[in-house]
């Protein structure tokens, strides 16, 4: 296992030097944040980013993410050109030796929460999700009421997109994902890049949009779409955890043993009611995810890929990008490294 940390590039308040000082963190997870969705990731720009990471004494382990254009998810005619460009970006990152690509196939919205700074009894703040609160948000006036998405779409663009998805039910989304993977996975395989889909977060439909990467059977179905090792998973405990049928350690065992988990996202969540949760500190005792059992499953499977602490709370007065401050994630990395050492030495 290689412990990594997400870094948002030059605009991130958390610096590469900060990350380098977290014991046991050696790898960086990053992206080109200024390339418009659908455009090719230029080799020179990826190479510059890699050089910056390496000059800080770290390695560029994972691209998270190259976003997938909505026209690909919707199966529109423009998808062929967009998929070609996607393949070119995959080839470019592979040429530079960056081995893993985390991406997602969630329509319109990536991860979604109803509160980005919920105050906990210890006065830290965390991200929370409450399904009833989400259902009350009226999107007809745009995304302004949706935490984290205030300026993502103009009301007209959003309405057009939501209307387009009325024609795309779950099965069509599966078909469109299959179409995408059938074309991208061979290029990834050829370029020594491992594709690692991120599960839908939260793992159920929101705003009537289809969401399909949610539970064990759907992960298996994804792997079967193109049965090749380059078609794999980002196993995110915080995204899969809220779905009660998901037995996370069993799933890790099943998919990691077959070499299909290419990236481990570890986050704890505390279920507060059905379809309601708070993001919790990483250790098992604070949430509904048994992190010890999850790591034990990785270790038994001989997992050698990148792992990262996922979202952290805001603690010690830190302000910054919700979920992506330095302190609580650094504690998470140290906890995960500690569990790993204990498991390794007692195993």
Interacting stretch for ligand DNO, rule CB under 6 A, among 104-112, 144-152, 156-164, 170-178? 104-112
CB of 198 to ligand DNO, least distance (A): 4
Q: How far apart are CA 307 and CA 235, in angstroms?
A: 9
- One-character DSSP codes across 8-39: -GGG-SS-HHHHHTSTT--EEEE--TTSPTTS
Of 74, 35, 97, give the one whose Cα is nearest residue 179: 74
Interacting stretch for ligand DNO, rule CB under 6 A, among 15-23, 70-78, 99-107, 113-121? 99-107
User: Could you give the 3-state DSSP secondary structure of residue 181?
Assistant: helix
Q: Which of 111, 129, 149, 298 binds ligand DNO (CB under 6 A)?
A: 111
Catalytic residue among 198, 215, 262, 282: 198
Residues in binding contact with ligand DNO, number by CB under 6 A: 11
CB of 55 to ligand DNO, least distance (A): 25
Partners of 126 in beta bridges: 118
CB of 310 to ligand DNO, least distance (A): 6
CB of 23 to ligand DNO, least distance (A): 23
Work out whether 104 is an interface residue with ligand DNO (CB under 6 A). Answer: yes
Work out whether 334 is an interface residue with ligand DNO (CB under 6 A). Answer: no
Q: Is the dihedral of CA 163, 181, 89, 236 positive or negative?
A: positive
Q: How far apart are CA 108 and CA 202, in angstroms?
A: 13
CB of 197 to ligand DNO, least distance (A): 8
Q: How far apart are CA 244 and CA 138, in angstroms?
A: 28
CB of 6 to ligand DNO, least distance (A): 8
Interacting stretch for ligand DNO, rule CB under 6 A, among 71-79, 102-110, 179-187, 274-282? 102-110
By DSSP bridging, strand 125-130 and strand 276-280 are: antiparallel
Interacting stretch for ligand DNO, rule CB under 6 A, among 83-91, 98-106, 175-183, 285-293? 98-106
Q: Is 11 a catalytic residue?
A: no
Work out whether 110 is an interface residue with ligand DNO (CB under 6 A). Answer: yes
The HSE-up count of residue 330 (CA atoms within 13 Å, CB side) is: 17
Work out whether 323 is an interface residue with ligand DNO (CB under 6 A). Answer: yes
Q: Is 198 a catalytic residue?
A: yes
By DSSP bridging, strand 261-266 and strand 125-130 are: unpaired
Helix axes 170-190 and 216-225, enclosed angle (nearest 10): 50
Q: Is 87 a catalytic residue?
A: no
3-state helix, strand, coil in the chain (%, to 5): 40, 20, 40
Nearer to ligand DNO, 226 or 233 (CB): 233
Q: Is 33 a catalytic residue?
A: no
Q: Which of 62, 102, 189, 289 binds ligand DNO (CB under 6 A)?
A: 102
Q: Is 102 a catalytic residue?
A: no
User: Could you give the 3-state DSSP secondary structure of residue 127?
Assistant: strand
Q: Encoding tokens for residue 241?
A: 């955890």
Q: Is 131 a catalytic residue?
A: no
Work out whether 65 is an interface residue with ligand DNO (CB under 6 A). Answer: yes
Taking a C-beta distance cutoff of 8 angstroms, is the pair 46, 10 a contact?
no
Interacting stretch for ligand DNO, rule CB under 6 A, among 86-94, 96-104, 138-146, 185-193? 96-104
Torsion of CA 272, 275, 281, 282, to 10 degrees: 130
Q: Encoding tokens for residue 106?
A: 């969630």
Q: Which of 5, 7, 86, 103 binds ligand DNO (CB under 6 A)?
A: 103
Site for ligand DNO in 147-206 (CB under 6 A): 198
The residues of the shown chain that bind ligand DNO, judged by CB under 6 A, are 64-65, 102-104, 110-111, 198, 265, 311, 323
**Which residues are designated catalytic?**
198, 236, 265, 310-311, 324
């Amino acid at each position: 296992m290689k412990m990594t940390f997400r870094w948002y590039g030059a605009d991130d308040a958390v610096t590469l030097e900060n990350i380098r000082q977290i014991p046991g963190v050696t790898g960086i997870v990053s992206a080109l944040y200024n390339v418009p969705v659908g455009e090719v990731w230029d080799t020179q720009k990826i190479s510059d980013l890699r050089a910056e990471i390496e000059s800080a004494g770290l390695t560029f382990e994972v691209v998270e993410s190259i976003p997938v254009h909505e026209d690909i998810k919707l199966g529109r005619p423009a998808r062929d050109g967009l998929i070609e460009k996607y393949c070119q970006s995959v080839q470019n990152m592979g040429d530079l030796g960056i081995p893993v690509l985390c991406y997602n196939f969630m329509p319109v919205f990536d991860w979604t929460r109803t509160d980005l700074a919920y105050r906990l009894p210890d006065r830290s703040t965390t991200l929370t999700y409450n399904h009833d609160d989400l259902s009350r948000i009226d999107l007809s006036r745009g995304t302004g009421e949706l935490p984290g998405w205030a300026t993502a779409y103009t009301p007209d663009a959003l309405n057009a997109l939501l209307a387009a998805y009325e024609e795309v039910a779950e099965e069509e989304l599966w078909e469109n994902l299959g179409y995408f993977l059938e074309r991208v996975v061979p290029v990834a395989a050829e370029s020594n890049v491992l594709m690692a889909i991120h599960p839908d977060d939260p793992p159920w439909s929101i705003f009537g949009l289809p969401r399909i990467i949610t539970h064990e059977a759907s992960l298996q179905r994804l792997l079967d779409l193109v049965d090749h090792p380059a078609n794999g998973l980002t196993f995110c405990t915080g995204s899969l955890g809220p779905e009660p049928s998901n037995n996370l350690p069993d799933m890790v065992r099943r998919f990691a043993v077959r070499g299909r988990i290419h990236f481990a996202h570890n986050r704890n969540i505390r279920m507060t009611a059905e379809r309601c949760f708070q993001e919790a500190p990483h250790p098992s005792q604070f949430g509904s995810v048994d992190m010890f059992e999850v790591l034990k499953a990785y270790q038994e499977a001989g997992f050698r890929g990148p792992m990262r602490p996922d979202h952290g709370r805001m603690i010690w007065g830190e302000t910054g990008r919700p979920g992506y401050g330095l302190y609580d994630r650094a504690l998470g990395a140290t906890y995960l490294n500690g569990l790993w050492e204990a498991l390794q030495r007692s195993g």
